[in-house]
Each structure stands twice: as structure tokens, then as C-alpha cells.
Amino acid sequence: MTDRTLPPGLHRDTLALRTAIDRSQYGENSEALYLTSGFVQADAETSARRFAGTEEGFTYSRTSNPTVASFEQRLAALEGTEAAIAASSGMGAILMMCMGLLRAGDHVICSRSVFGSTLNLFAKEFAKFGVETTFVSQTDVAQWRAALRPTTKLLFAETPTNPLTEVCDIRALADLAHGAGALLAVDNCFCSPALQRPVEFGADLIIHSGTKYLDGQGRVMAGAICGPRKLIVDVFGPVVRTAGMVLSPFNAWVVLKGMETLGIRMEAQSARALAVAQWLEGHPMVARVHYPGLPSHPQHALAMRQQSGQGGAVVSFDVRGNDPVTARKNAFHVIDSTRVVSIATNLGDTKTIITHPGTTSHGRLSEEQRQAAGIGQGLIRLAVGLDHIEDIKADLLRGLDTLA
């Protein structure tokens, strides 16, 4: 179950193709899909040793599976962490992390701007078990510092955020966490390791929704935690084995193959997103564009340092409208005038996706909460895929140029 013997010092592009468990006796070039729940043991003694953990070997796919192991090794290689552990979804990964690290009485500090389900998981589900969370500004480190308590065990951030692409300073938050004896976890979904490796800035744990850019073609749900081997093996391993939020071998295989093209996809989608963002900034019916790759973005310089000089593939923009009712009508007009891009709420797909956050991902918030989060009714999120840039522009112009 060791890595294939690859020479040290390989580049990320190569690791994305080559890191996996050993080939089977058949010598397949594309990694095999081991779609099996159980594994046949040579004899009862071998079985006993494997269950006791004194011998490595596969027994049952809730404990480990060769295809899932390849996914974990490849993702860890890309993130630059010692190890990774797979989960059934991104949310499953966050659940696994918190079940492993936290107990009643512990305190968490979390950015107010994280993914909606993450907010709910901390605010509602963990609160039921006596874990308290303080929500603070995405960008103001002083608020994170002020929220620290002796019981603080975990700082949780996501950068850039959805849908406004706000960027937090990973290094500053890591220093703060470590000074307080806590860990920093970063949800790296938007950039993926192709653009941003949070461990390089001091983060301890990296969360992934493999559903997004790692798969990259909108096919399956997947998740993972990347981090130090000791935590992965001793803390999170027992949680996934007993709680069962395991990744299906089939989904692991799909994402494993998706990761092979991650680097070139992120580069190409980022370049298209930048072009769309620059072009949108010049349109008279667009009030504001939110994109870390633009100099007008409040954390542009920080984003360029953390994200390999690229903005990522998600662009959000506000369509003009003097009041919320008009702004929503205008945003809906732009969305409904498209004939190419997909009206959906996913992101990270090769197909460009257009979303109205105010009535979908952030639809359950009160108008007041939405305003506080900066999510106006005129806001549109575009998760730029690999559609030709001119076709994306023409699709948006159908609506932008026909607004009353």
C-alpha cells in the first residue's frame, strides 16, 4: 500500500498523474477501480492480524479501499501534506474533522463568510453537542484575536469565499491559532491545490469538497481532509471508520482521474474568469465586479500572493437596480436571457454555471442578514468553465444589453 516508487522532487503536474498505490499484477496504466465492499483474506491468521492493525491490508471498504487510498495519496501530494483522508462529501469532511478534534466545552472561531452549510453545521448542529462557535469578519484579523478563549481549539476559514470572493490572510490566522494552542483549518475548495497550498502559509488542516474542482466535471460528490499523518491516522481515521462518512470507491476513482487535469483546468478557467471579470467591469449595467484577480478587489495583493498569482474561476457581479426589487428583476433578466451557460448552483464544473445567490445559496437568510453579508438582490455568481470566452460574453450580453 505504499506509493509507487517515484523519484523525489517531481512537479505538481506530474504528481497529479502519477501518485497512487502500486499497480495490480495486471499492470494497468490507468488506476483500477476496486468496486468492492469486502476483501478476501488468505487465512484466519492474516485476517486477525489485519483487524488488529499489526499488518497492513484491506479488509472492508469502510476502513480502507485501494481506489480511495490512491485518491488520498494523490490529493496529499498536491496539497503538500503528509496525508489525507477521504469523506463522502465536503460537508462530511468538516463533520469528520470536528468529531475528531472537538468535545463539549470547546470553542471554535469561524469566518462569518464561509459556505452556508458550514455555517449551519457550526451554528446549529455542533451547538447541540456543547461546542460553541464565534463568527467573525473574514478579513479583520483583530476580530479573530479578540474572539480567542482558553477553550478555543479550532480556527476555521475559507478563502476566497462564496460568492463575494473575499480573501483572508492564512499566515496571520495560522500565527494566531498557534499562539493560542489551536489549529487552523482552511477550506481550499475555491482555489484547489493547483493555485493555493494553505500549508505553505502555516495552515494545519485543509478541507476539500472534491465535488467541485477536483472532480471538475460535475459528476460525483467527494470530500477530504489533508494534514499531518498523526492526526489523519490517529484522530480522523477512527472517526470515519466508526461514523461511516466514507467515500465510495467509484466516486474516489472519478475524482482521482479528475485530478489529472486539475492544473490545466484551473489555469484555463482562471484565465477565462479574469477576461470575463475585466470585461464586466466595463459594462454600464454592471455596478461592481467581485474577483480577486482584479486590482479593484480589496485583497487583490494578498490574493495574488496566496493564489499563485491567479484569481480562480468564480466571478460575482452586481447588476444595477435602484432598489432590491428592481435589482432582482434585472439579475433574473440577465440569468434568464442566457442560452448557453447552465442555471444551477454548483461550481467547479467545465460547464460555466450562473447562479442568483440571493434566492438560492443565501435564500434562507433574512434580507437583513443578506445585506450584512453583502449579498444584494442584483448579485450574480458566474462559475466560469471551459466554454469559449466569446460565447460566455455573448450569453451575458443577451440580458445586459436588453435591460429596461
Ligand X SMILES: *Cc1c(COP(=O)(O)O)cnc(C)c1O
Q: How far is the CB of 121 from ligand X (least distance, A)?
A: 10
Task: By CB under 6 A, tell whether 384 contacts ligand X.
Answer: no
Task: By CB under 6 A, tell whether 75 contacts ligand X.
Answer: no
Task: Considering only the stretches 86-94, 293-301, 309-317, 389-397, report the one whose residues sit in contact with ligand X under the rule CB under 6 A.
Answer: 86-94
CB 155 within 8 A of CB 144: yes
Q: What CA–CA distance (Å, rounded) separates 321 from 173?
A: 37
CB 194 within 8 A of CB 160: no
Residue appearing with cell numbers 476513482: 253
Task: By CB under 6 A, tell whether 299 contacts ligand X.
Answer: no
Q: How far is the CB of 348 from ligand X (least distance, A)?
A: 8
Task: By CB under 6 A, tell whether 162 contacts ligand X.
Answer: yes
Q: How far is the CB of 216 from ligand X (least distance, A)?
A: 13
Interior CA angle at 185 toward 157 and 173, to 5°?
60
Q: What is the DSSP string of 203-264?
A: -SEEEEETTTTTT-SS----EEEEE-HHIIIIIIHHHHHHH--PPPHHHHHHHHHHHTTHHH
Q: How far is the CB of 9 from ligand X (least distance, A)?
A: 31
Nearer to ligand X by Cβ, of 21 and 222: the residue is 222
Which residue in the shown chain puts its C-beta closest to ligand X? 90
Residue from 221, 245, 353, 383 binding ligand X (CB under 6 A):
221
Task: By CB under 6 A, tell whether 189 contacts ligand X.
Answer: yes
In this structure, is the dihedral angle defined by the CA atoms of residues 154, 313, 212 and 360, taken in order, positive or negative? positive
Nearer to ligand X by Cβ, of 115 and 122: the residue is 115
Q: How far is the CB of 112 from ligand X (least distance, A)?
A: 14
Q: Can you tell me whether residue 330 is helix, strand or coil?
A: helix
Task: By CB under 6 A, tell whether 79 contacts ligand X.
Answer: no
Q: Can you tell me whether residue 376 is helix, strand or coil?
A: coil
Task: By CB under 6 A, tell whether 89 contacts ligand X.
Answer: yes
Q: What CA–CA distance (Å, rounded) separates 104 from 34?
A: 38
Nearer to ligand X by Cβ, of 243 and 389: the residue is 243
Residue from 73, 211, 310, 352 binding ligand X (CB under 6 A):
211
248 CA to centre of own chain: 19
Q: What CA–CA distance (Å, rounded) separates 173 from 157?
A: 9
Q: What is the size of the binding site for ligand X (CB under 6 A)?
A: 14
Nearer to ligand X by Cβ, of 118 and 330: the residue is 118
Task: Considering only the stretches 127-135, 208-216, 257-265, 391-399, report the one whose residues sit in contact with ligand X under the rule CB under 6 A.
Answer: 208-216
Those residues with Cβ within 8 angstroms of residue 207's Cβ, 6 or more apart along the chain or in another chain: 90, 93, 94, 97, 185, 186, 187, 188, 189, 223, 224, 225
Counting DSSP H helices and E strands in the chain, the numbers are 16, 12
Residue from 152, 209, 310, 355 binding ligand X (CB under 6 A):
209
Task: By CB under 6 A, tell whether 377 contacts ligand X.
Answer: no
Which parts of this chain interact with ligand X (CB under 6 A)?
89-91, 115, 118, 158, 162, 187, 189, 209, 211-212, 221, 223
